Amino acid sequence: MFDLTNDERKVILFLAFVFLLGLGVNFSSKRFMPKKTPASFNENLGRVNLNTAEQKLLMSIPGIGEKLSQRIIDLRESIGGFGNVEEIKKIKGVTEAKFDKIKDYLFAQ
């Protein structure tokens, strides 16, 4: 009917076999994969990066207003970026109590 040569038949069968195998593997991986595979999530999730955040983003953190956000940016520019969050304690107005309040929202990278 199709007048295929023996080599052509072999090629078509090989491709069909690979596709069939692929379908089986794909279906099994979807079906039998555990629903919840633990992942190494970023521990800074949901926090604001002190080294890249704009003023508006810093101001979205409870406890940081316009003045403090501006001071953070000024210090960042003067020291060329924060090495760790503790460094914001140098800023005027960041008391120990204030730092405890805002530290969970911040990270430096």
Binding footprint of other proteins on the chain (CB under 8 A): 1-4, 6, 9-10, 12-13, 16-17, 19-20, 23-24, 26-27, 29-31, 33-42, 44-49, 52, 56-57, 60-61, 105
Beta carbon of residue 67, minimum distance to other proteins (angstroms, whole number):
19
What one-letter code names the amino acid at 99? F
CB atoms within 10 A of CB 102: 18
Note the Cα 43 to chain centre separation in Å. Answer: 9
Beta carbon of residue 2, minimum distance to other proteins (angstroms, whole number):
5
Give CA–CA dist 85/108, Å, rounded.
6
Give CA–CA dist 53/44, Å, rounded.
14
Question: DSSP string covering 14-33, please?
Answer: HHHHHHHHHHHHHHHHHHHS
Q: Residue 48 or residue 94: which is nearer to other proteins going by CB?
A: 48
Beta carbon of residue 12, minimum distance to other proteins (angstroms, whole number):
7
Q: Residue 11 or residue 79: which is nearer to other proteins going by CB?
A: 11
Q: Residue 35 or residue 92: which is nearer to other proteins going by CB?
A: 35
